[in-house]
Amino acid sequence: MTTLKPSALTILGLETSCDETAASVVRREADGTVTVLSSIIGTQFEQHAPFGGVVPEIAARAHVEAIDAIAAEAIRASGVSFDQLDGVAATAGPGLVGGVMVGLAFGKAVSLARGVPLVAVNHLEGHAVSARLGADIAYPFLLLLVSGGHCQLLEVSGVGACKRLGTTIDDAAGEAFDKIAKSLGLPYPGGPALEKLAVGGDATRYSLPRALLGRKDCDFSFSGLKTAAARIAETLTTDDERRDLAAGVQFAIARQLSERVDRAMKLYKEGHGADELRFVVAGGVAANGAVRAALLADCEKNGFSFAAPPLAYCTDNAAMIALAGAERLALGISDDLDAVARPRWPLDEAAALANPANAYGRKGAKA
């Protein structure tokens, strides 16, 4: 491990954990001020659309084909050169490991060729700091990380310091959105399409299950909702019926997120003063209007401030990876070139090992 504490940092970030090939150059000043100099995202929607979801092998090959051009465009658009970089940050997990390997290997190559430090970033830590791309948000804060692959409530007290308060015991909220959208015949990516369809729908028309009623923890479960909605979708014949089911699903997901967040806020308040009541929501589902409205109501009820990343940084992007890397480099933290790609990498590893939400597999405890 090397140490580096310059007054300011210009970092190249790389993100390839799922189906976006992304690169970004971020400038972090000594006072913590952040400027995104460039953010380039290459999507793979067309490649995966025929399958209704992400195919890992197709994603990995697409990353290989795109990473060089995406990184070059990020450098060009930023107005800086490779020689002006102070470091490179690359997602090292969790994610589809074939894709993670592509971005991490490219980052290692930049580090070796340019003689700059490498930071192997946890993709979830990138989401955790993503709201700081658009606002000056101090630590500590309560975080809801809600995306296609992850759904967690975390107390974030500093760089890399996360305590898990709750997690999904089965599916993530974003996965439920996407899979139910697919059952409704909506195009990939399903979450935004379902939100659009839900406009004007009657959310009370269909009876949908409420998960984990009676439990007092902050865990989530969306598999029952996903199954019930898919079965109802098979019986629908009109656009009005599909619209009402979409509205009901969106309401059910927003309600469960809101209920758990309300519970987590009450727990968080027990150990923090009024000046530390900050709530951040990050991840792709943070872009959903109904979810945001429900979480804003939680904040108002419990006296928390509300923050979310700019919409451009809600879904996977490399600017958040660059910022996470910059914050670590500012503390003198970097990684060696033997850093490994990790398909699983919980933010709170102690909690994941001691109390895994899912079975412990040969790849490690799931987040």
Q: Let me know whether 299 and 184 are in one domain.
A: yes
Q: Are 284 and 148 in contact (CB under 8 A)?
A: yes
Q: Is residue 286 part of a domain?
A: yes
Q: Let me know whether 47 and 165 are in one domain.
A: no
Q: Let me know whether 206 and 227 are in one domain.
A: yes
pLDDT of residue 347: 85
Q: Are 30 and 70 in contact (CB under 8 A)?
A: no
Q: Is residue 118 part of a domain?
A: yes
First to last CA, the chain: 26
- The reported pTM is 0.88
pLDDT of residue 163: 94
Residue 328: give the domain boundaries. Answer: 9-133+313-354
Q: Let me know whether 171 and 299 are in one domain.
A: yes
pLDDT(78) > 70: yes
What's the CATH number where 185 sits? Answer: 3.30.420.40
pLDDT of residue 54: 81
Q: Is residue 219 part of a domain?
A: yes
Q: Is residue 60 part of a domain?
A: yes
Q: Which of 289, 308, 327 is the last residue of a domain?
A: 308
**Sheet with 141-146, side-by-side order of all strands:** 161-167, 151-158, 141-146, 278-282, 305-307
Q: Is residue 367 part of a domain?
A: no
Q: Is residue 360 part of a domain?
A: no
Mean pLDDT score, 325-338: 96
Q: Which of 254, 273, 308 is the last residue of a domain?
A: 308
Q: Let me know whether 186 and 282 are in one domain.
A: yes
pLDDT in tens, 106-155: 999 999 999 999 999 999 999 999 999 988 999 999 999 998 888 999 99
Structure-block tokens of residue 2: 């090397």
Query: Considering its fold, how many domains does the chain have in total?
Result: 2
Q: Let me know whether 230 and 109 are in one domain.
A: no
Q: Let me know whether 178 and 303 are in one domain.
A: yes
Q: Let me know whether 176 and 255 are in one domain.
A: yes
Mean pLDDT score, 4-17: 85
Place of tokens 């590893």: 349
Q: Are 67 and 107 in contact (CB under 8 A)?
A: no
Average pLDDT, the chain: 91
Please return the burial class of 92, using the count of CB atoms within 10 Å of its CB with bins 0-12, 13-18 and 19+: buried
Taken in order 205, 207, 211, 213, is the CA torsion positive or negative? positive
Structure-block tokens of residue 303: 């006296």
Q: Let me know whether 288 and 327 are in one domain.
A: no
Q: Let me know whether 270 and 189 are in one domain.
A: yes
Q: Let me know whether 151 and 24 are in one domain.
A: no
Q: Let me know whether 212 and 337 are in one domain.
A: no
Q: Is residue 216 part of a domain?
A: yes
